[in-house]
């Protein structure tokens, strides 16, 4: 069976992340991706994880258990990656789940401008062969604008420097999520 966008995001991360790598979870939420990343990088690696809701940090802290030491949880928007992740820190992978926290306040959503700031900061730090992945949920108010911003931003990245993939079930109802994967190419200057 074909994988869901969410499962495929994990497949794409698992293919490249090695123990000891430094990675980013740009939208911590309930901590599912933070835990997955923490297990992949292991105790020698580091996960920088961001969310603006106290509840997200509490849920993630609880979920992490033994994997907690390698995760740094920031109660801060991903627009602060530029200041919270050192500029010379090589980042192997980053993941976003855009939208709102399930079973929570549906008005607290990721936004086009801050998502763009985060993507700018991540691409500056991404290693060659590294991947930035976005799973875009866009059925809510404001979701379409963010979807368009992300697709335009990633679609405009130069082919010489990046491979950009989209993955979506195009015959499903109710706005199925879109996965975007940006991979930095060898010889990239950006
Ligand atoms: N990956 C998460 C998980 O495993 O449960 C789900 C993430 S949920 C779809 C989106 C999250 O983005 C919400 O928890 C929301 O609080 C958070 N968020 C909204 N604006 C943000 C921002 N500027 N920076 C970081 N997180 C933000």
Residue 190 clears pLDDT 90, i.e. is over it: no
Residue 130 CB less than 6 A away from ligand 1: no
Residue 57 CB less than 6 A away from ligand 1: no
Which residue's alpha carbon is nearest to atom 4 within ligand 1? 32
Residues 40-78 pLDDT 10s: 999 999 999 999 999 999 999 999 999 999 999 999 999
Q: How much distance in Å is there from the Cα of 15 to the middle of ligand 1?
A: 24
Q: How much distance in Å is there from the Cα of 48 to the middle of ligand 1?
A: 13
pTM: 0.97
Residues 87-97 pLDDT 10s: 999 999 999 99
Which residue's alpha carbon is nearest to atom 22 within ligand 1? 77
Residue 177 CB less than 6 A away from ligand 1: no
Grade residue 170 by pLDDT with cuts at 50, 70 and 90.
Answer: very high
Residues 114-153 pLDDT 10s: 999 999 999 999 999 999 999 999 999 999 999 999 999 9
> SS3 for the chain, per residue?
CCCCHHHHHHHHHHCCCCCCCEEEECCCCCCHHHHHHHHHHCCCCEEEEEECCHHHHHHHHHHHHHHHHHEEEEEECHHHHHHHCCCCCCEEEEEEEECECCCCCCCCECCHHHHHHHHHHHHHHEEEEEEEEEEECCCCCCHHHHHHHHHHHHHCCCCCCEEEEEECCCCCCCCCCEEEEEEECCCCCC
């Amino acid at each position: 069976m074909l994988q869901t966008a969410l499962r495929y995001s994990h497949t794409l991360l698992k293919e490249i992340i090695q123990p000891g790598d430094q990675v980013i979870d740009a939208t911590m939420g309930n901590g599912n991706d933070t835990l997955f990343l923490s297990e992949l990088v292991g105790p020698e690696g580091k996960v920088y994880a961001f969310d603006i809701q106290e509840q997200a940090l509490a849920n993630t802290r609880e979920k992490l258990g033994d994997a907690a030491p390698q995760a740094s949880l920031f109660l801060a928007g991903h627009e602060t990656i530029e200041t919270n992740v050192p500029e010379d820190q090589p980042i192997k992978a980053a993941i976003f789940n855009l939208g709102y926290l399930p079973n929570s306040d549906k008005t607290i959503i990721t936004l086009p401008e801050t998502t763009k700031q985060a993507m700018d900061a991540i691409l500056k730090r991404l290693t060659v062969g590294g991947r930035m992945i976005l799973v875009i949920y866009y059925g809510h108010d404001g979701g379409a604008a963010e979807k368009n911003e992300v697709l335009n931003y990633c679609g405009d990245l130069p082919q010489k420097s990046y491979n950009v993939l989209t993955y979506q079930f195009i015959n499903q109802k109710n706005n199925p999520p879109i996965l975007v994967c940006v991979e930095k190419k060898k010889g990239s200057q950006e």
